[in-house]
């Protein structure tokens, strides 16, 4: 499908980022998968070349351009390459809006230059052992004590959790106020009482460090609160649509990559004396997958336009998140089936795509939660 989303400057940016991946990621990603973590050096190199903090104002070292199309290019090319360990998307798409929009001048000067240079890796900690999509169930507690907030609790499934130098932690600051009782704190690497647990052993996205975090009487300076006290839940609701669209961008790219490699496999693989792509069943399956891939792409590109215009609703972001990721899981499963036994072998990229895809319908809000959000918006 011919895309009309990008301008010539975006194409140049894409070419530069593809070159970066070829030079600094391609030869190392398999090793990072074995180690279950990406080398920090690749973050610094990405920062040098301008692939971190594209929306951050130039005075803090960023690109100074608020245009989600640049974010989408980074996500797409990372996905096209199968480099699922690189946490740039979390950094650029999920954390950046909080640091750009909610920080005061002192915080901006303290955090944003390192954010853009790759020397300050970030994460956001919402999920807890007993709290997933139900964010109002967060139990991590922050209590004011003089010029500090004393933080206690634990988080889990935190992307970039091992490498992160700054973690945005969502905590309850007033249990009596319900949704108005949550705040967001910047917890820095060396704060006493802040500990990282296991680098979790996942079935996919093996090179991406995903960790358990614990906070035991961590004294967080009041100067590290983002925005206003009690506004945390509202800030999350404001920023989750971009996070969910970002996940949909991954889904669209993963579908296209898997379909492309499967079409090629069906041209090359022979059975009963001819390429398996010549069999009607194969053509019909791939025709369905190609149609669904095109529909996903049209939806995602349209919603990127709407996000840039400030018009993407919470319900639309939820639609994109659940529908694209469910299609991703389904289509990659069908592509693997066409690979036969080879598709079950980890040496084949389709096997990795299959394992990496499964979490897409879970994180960022499960499919079930997305449907609930959409349903509530229908005024039934």
Q: Is 243 exposed, middle or buried (0-12, 13-18, 19+ CB in 10 A)?
A: buried
Dmax over CA atoms of the chain, in Å, equals 79
Angle, nearest 10°, between helix axes 8-24 and 41-48? 150
- The residue length of the chain stands at 380
DSSP string for 292-356? HHHHHHHHHHHHHHHHHTT---HHHHHHHHHHHHHHHHHHHHHHHHHTGGGGGSTTSHHHHHHHH
Phi/psi region, residue 134 (left: phi>0; alpha: psi -120 to 50; beta: rest), is beta
Q: Rounded to whole angstroms, how far apart are CA atoms 20 and 91?
A: 17
Q: Which of 33, 77, 243, 316 is catalytic?
A: 243
Q: End-to-end alpha-carbon separation of the chain, Å? A: 37
Helix%, strand%, coil% for the chain, nearest 5 = 55, 15, 30
Query: Which phi and psi angles does 51 have, rounded to 5°?
Result: -100, 10
Listed in sequence order, the DSSP H helices in 88-231 are 88-89, 96-101, 105-117
**In whole angstroms, how large is the CA radius of gyration of the chain?**
21
Q: Which of 87, 22, 38 shows the shortest CA–CA distance to 207?
A: 38
Told to judge if 260 belongs to the known catalytic residues of this protein, a careful annotator would answer: no
164-199 b/e (C-beta count within 10 Å ≥ 16 → b): bbbbbbbbbbbeeeeeebbbbbbbbeebeebebeeb
Residues labelled catalytic: 243
């Amino acid at each position: 499908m011919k895309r009309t989303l990008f301008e010539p400057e975006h194409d140049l940016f894409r070419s530069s980022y593809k070159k970066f991946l070829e030079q600094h990621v391609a030869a190392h990603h398999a090793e990072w998968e074995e180690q279950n973590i990406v080398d920090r050096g690749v973050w610094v190199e990405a920062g040098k070349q301008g692939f971190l903090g594209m929306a951050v104002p130039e005075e803090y070292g960023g690109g100074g351009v608020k245009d989600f199309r640049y974010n989408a290019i980074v996500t797409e090319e990372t996905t096209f390459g199968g480099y699922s360990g690189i946490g740039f998307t979390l950094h650029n798409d999920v954390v950046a809006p909080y640091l750009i929009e909610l920080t005061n001048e002192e915080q901006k000067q303290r955090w944003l230059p390192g954010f853009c240079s790759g020397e300050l890796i970030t994460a956001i900690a919402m999920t807890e052992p007993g709290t997933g999509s139900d964010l109002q169930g967060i139990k991590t507690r922050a209590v004011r004590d003089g010029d500090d907030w004393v933080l206690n609790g634990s988080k889990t499934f935190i992307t970039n959790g091992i490498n992160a130098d700054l973690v945005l932690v969502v905590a309850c600051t007033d249990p009596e106020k319900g949704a108005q009782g949550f705040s967001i704190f910047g917890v820095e690497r060396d704060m006493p009482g802040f500990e990282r647990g296991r680098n979790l052993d996942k079935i996919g996205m093996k090179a991406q460090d995903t960790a358990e975090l614990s906070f035991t009487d961590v004294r967080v300076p009041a100067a590290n609160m983002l925005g206003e006290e009690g506004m945390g839940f509202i800030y999350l609701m404001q920023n989750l649509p971009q996070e969910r669209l970002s996940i949909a961008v991954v889904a669209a790219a993963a579908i296209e990559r898997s379909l492309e490699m499967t079409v090629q496999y069906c041209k090359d693989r022979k059975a009963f004396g001819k390429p398996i792509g010549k069999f009607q069943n194969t053509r019909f399956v791939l025709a369905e997958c190609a149609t669904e891939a095109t529909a996903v792409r049209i939806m995602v590109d349209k919603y990127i336009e709407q996000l840039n215009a400030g018009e993407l609703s919470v319900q639309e972001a939820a639609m994109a998140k659940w529908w694209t990721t469910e299609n991703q899981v389904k289509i990659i499963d069908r592509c693997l089936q066409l690979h036969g036994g080879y598709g079950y072998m980890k040496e084949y990229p389709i096997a990795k795509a299959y394992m990496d895809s499964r979490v897409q319908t879970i994180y960022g809000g499960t499919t079930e939660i997305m449907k609930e959000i959409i349903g509530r918006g229908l005024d039934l």
